[in-house]
Amino acid sequence: MFDTLSFALVFIPCLVIAIVFHEVAHGYAAKVLGDPTASERGRLTLNPIRHVDPVGTLLVPGGLLLLGAPAFGWAKPVPVNKWRLSNPRFGMMAVAAAGPASNFVLAFVGAVAFGMIGTLGAGWAESEAGFPMLVGADGTALPVATGLYLFILINVFLGLFNLLPIPPFDGSHIVGGLLPKPLRNQWEKLQRFGMVLILGVIAFSWIFGTGWLEVTVLPLLAKVMSFYEGIANAIALA
């Protein structure tokens, strides 16, 4: 039986790993490019407690769930001092890109593992608790396979979502580095209001049912997931 507790025990570790590696990747990229701030503050660790933001990791997603809204949250950002980078402009672009890149690498690892456990012939079903799960030909739940698929899905979604060119997402830092200096300065000023902006977009979407994720992220998510599913299938058939 794949109940609520079982789903949580599968989903939460996948999400924590994806988020922690994402944040640590930012810090390591910054250190390689000349800024050791994250290392000096003890943030280059895989200990998830070090990356918990009381507001973004606990209060905001918990409150949204209680209100029946889509859950949304964030980890404590890894500190980066762009003026300590050897090349602040391009360094910030590289640091920003490192987070999503780590998620795509994790998704690849998940796809390889998914293919190696041999899930050919498995299909999706809905548990009694209403959660999707992979089942074998005889209807037996496959929690490991389900967890690996969710691991791939979470990492791909997190990587794509953070590449959106909306402050304060990673994509906005990449766009900022590409802009000419006058526009870049104005763009950087938007970063301080970024979280308010994105929460406003989410609230507007929830209240009025605009479905902005369906337009921006989900179409690309389906295509990228097909790519990783192809890797898994190739390994399973090898």
Residues recognised as catalytic? 23
Whole-angstrom Cα distance, residue 170 to residue 159? 9
How far from 202 is each of 42, 57, 199, CA to CA, in Å? 32, 16, 5
Around Cβ 178, how many Cβ atoms within 10 Å?
Answer: 13
- Cβ of 207: how many Cβ atoms within 10 Å? 9
Q: Say which residue the tokens 């308010």 belong to.
A: 196
182 is written with which tokens?
A: 């006058």
| C-beta of residue 73 within 8 angstroms of C-beta of residue 61 | yes
Half-sphere exposure of 59 (CA within 13 A, CB side): 5
CB 147 within 8 A of CB 14: yes
